[in-house]
């Protein structure tokens, strides 16, 4: 009997570790491949060194960090909304970030730092707005948050369309590229920023895994088990939004990483619960792989990484939904 109990509890603990190790190996492997190691061993000109140190290396590091940040944030959102389609977008995240970026490009002059800052503010502000509207009597039910988020996102979408029609053509192109998501402008200061955000925000979120596991079983049960649900919801939402906004300020709101990575992680680990660490690792793999594809899929033409994750993520999501439909779960 005891062996059965132990088996029941631990069977699902070995796979996540294996998946984690696999993801780290894969992420580092793709990262190394993207760094074009061949050139490292041949004689490098000073121009090559510059390209490697100032363009390639920060780009790969940002892909890893942003992928992990967006995916972790997505996993937290799916857990908190108890909805497999949850992502920071539930709080109007992408639209808010886009509004911020558009204002940065069209009104504030479009310097890289300004766009990053205004996008960050746009994302965080729209999330805060959704939370405050959804909150009633100190409580924000999951569905209410999602519904208010859809409404606010639609409004911000209108604002964005207006701003784009008002912008001149080069501003509009710059904004569109940012909204699609791109790793082109990656810098070392961006790496430092994302690493700092990850170092500050990821550990508490990962520590919240246990609480999120309880939260997933429903509001009443979680409260009955002594969880302060509204406190968890507010603090985890805030941390996840800031983490995703910081990532997006450097890369743009790269489509689907937040939505897709947790699903891939769950399928790989087959573990219950929010799967935060596996999700983050899968996100890192996903973005660094998407960036690699973006650069090499079409010779002599680089795609914006967001277009690749959109294609891959969208395809995967459709596959997932079709499969769940076949097994009768939707």
The pair of three-digit structure tokens given for residue 256, joined into one six-digit string: 């689907």
Taking residues 159 to 178 in sequence order and writing x for each that binds other proteins by CB under 8 A, - otherwise, the string is --------------------
Residues 88-127 that bind other proteins (CB under 8 A): none
Q: Say if residues 61 and 287 touch (Cβ distance below 8 Å).
A: no
Residue closer to other proteins by CB (options 127, 214) is 214
Region from 89-97, 106-114, 173-181, 208-216 binding other proteins, contact rule CB under 8 A: 208-216
By CB under 8 A, residue 219 contacts other proteins: yes
Q: Supply angle C-alpha 139, 141, 143, rounded to 5.
A: 155
Query: Of these, 168, 220, 299, 300, which contacts other proteins (CB under 8 A)?
Result: 220
Q: Which helix (H) or strand (E) holds 305?
A: helix 305-326
Please tell me whether residue 298 adopts helix, strand or coil conformation: strand
Residues 24-83 that bind other proteins (CB under 8 A): 82
Give the number of other Cβ atoms within 10 Å of residue 40's Cβ: 11
Q: How far is the CB of 84 from other proteins (least distance, A)?
A: 9
Residue closer to other proteins by CB (options 14, 228) is 228
CA quadruple 96, 102, 104, 107: dihedral sign: negative
Q: How far is the CB of 7 from other proteins (least distance, A)?
A: 5
CA quadruple 285, 268, 212, 324: dihedral sign: positive
By CB under 8 A, residue 330 contacts other proteins: no
Q: Say if residues 205 and 276 touch (Cβ distance below 8 Å).
A: yes
- Helices (DSSP H) in 108-253: which residue ranges? 112-134, 142-166, 169-180, 188-207, 209-215, 219-224, 229-251
Q: How far apart are CA 93 and CA 302, in angstroms?
A: 26
Place of tokens 């002059």: 109
Residues 6+ apart with CB under 8 A from 134: 140, 141, 144, 145, 147, 148, 149
**Number of residues engaging other proteins in binding (CB under 8 A):** 33
Query: Of these, 154, 173, 225, 297, which contacts other proteins (CB under 8 A)?
Result: 225
Q: How far is the CB of 280 from other proteins (least distance, A)?
A: 19
Query: Of these, 162, 218, 315, 319, which contacts other proteins (CB under 8 A)?
Result: 218
Residue closer to other proteins by CB (options 158, 203) is 203
Q: How far apart are CA 215 and CA 97, in angstroms?
A: 28
Residue closer to other proteins by CB (options 214, 245) is 214
Region from 42-50, 114-122, 213-221, 237-245 binding other proteins, contact rule CB under 8 A: 213-221
Region from 19-27, 34-42, 120-128, 209-217 binding other proteins, contact rule CB under 8 A: 209-217
By CB under 8 A, residue 326 contacts other proteins: no
Residues 6+ apart with CB under 8 A from 203: none
Q: How far apart are CA 230 and CA 184, in angstroms?
A: 39
Query: Of these, 66, 72, 129, 227, which contacts other proteins (CB under 8 A)?
Result: 227
Q: How far is the CB of 75 from other proteins (least distance, A)?
A: 13
Query: Of these, 149, 266, 285, 294, which contacts other proteins (CB under 8 A)?
Result: 266
Query: Of these, 151, 158, 224, 315, which contacts other proteins (CB under 8 A)?
Result: 224
Residues 1-20 that bind other proteins (CB under 8 A): 1-2, 4-9, 11-12
DSSP 8-state code for residue 65: H
Q: Which residues bind other proteins (CB under 8 A)?
A: 1-2, 4-9, 11-12, 82, 137, 207, 210, 213-214, 216-221, 223-228, 266, 270-273
């Amino acid at each position: 009997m005891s062996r059965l109990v132990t088996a029941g509890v631990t069977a699902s603990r070995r796979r996540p570790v294996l998946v984690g190790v696999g993801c780290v190996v894969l992420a580092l492997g793709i990262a190394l491949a993207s760094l074009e190691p061949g050139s490292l061993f041949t004689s490098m000109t000073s121009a090559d060194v510059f390209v490697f140190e100032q363009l390639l290396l920060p780009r790969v590091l940002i892909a890893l960090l942003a992928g992990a940040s967006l995916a972790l944030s997505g996993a937290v959102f799916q857990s908190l909304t108890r909805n497999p389609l949850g992502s920071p977008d539930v709080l109007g995240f992408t639209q808010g970030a886009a509004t911020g970026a558009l204002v940065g490009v069209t009104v504030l002059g479009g310097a890289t730092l300004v766009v990053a800052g205004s996008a960050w503010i746009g994302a965080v502000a729209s999330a805060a707005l959704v939370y405050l509207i959804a909150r009633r009597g100190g409580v924000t039910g999951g569905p209410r948050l999602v519904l208010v988020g859809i409404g606010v996102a639609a409004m911000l979408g209108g604002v964005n369309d207006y701003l784009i029609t008002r912008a001149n053509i080069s501003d509009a192109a710059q904004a569109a590229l940012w909204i699609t998501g791109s790793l082109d402008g990656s810098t070392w200061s961006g790496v430092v920023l994302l690493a700092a955000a990850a170092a500050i925000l990821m550990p508490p979120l990962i520590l919240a895994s246990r609480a999120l596991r309880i939260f997933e079983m429903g509001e009443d049960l979680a409260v009955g088990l002594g969880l302060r649900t509204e406190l968890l919801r507010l603090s985890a939402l805030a941390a996840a939004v800031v983490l995703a906004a910081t990532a997006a300020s450097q890369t743009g709101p790269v489509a689907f990483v937040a939505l897709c990575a947790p699903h891939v992680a769950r399928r790989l680990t087959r573990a219950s619960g929010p799967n935060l660490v596996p999700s983050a690792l899968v996100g890192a793999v996903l973005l660094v792989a998407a960036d690699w594809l973006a650069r090499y899929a079409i010779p002599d033409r680089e795609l914006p990484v967001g277009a690749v994750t959109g294609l891959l993520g969208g395809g995967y999501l459709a596959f997932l939904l079709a499969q769940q439909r076949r097994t009768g779960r939707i």
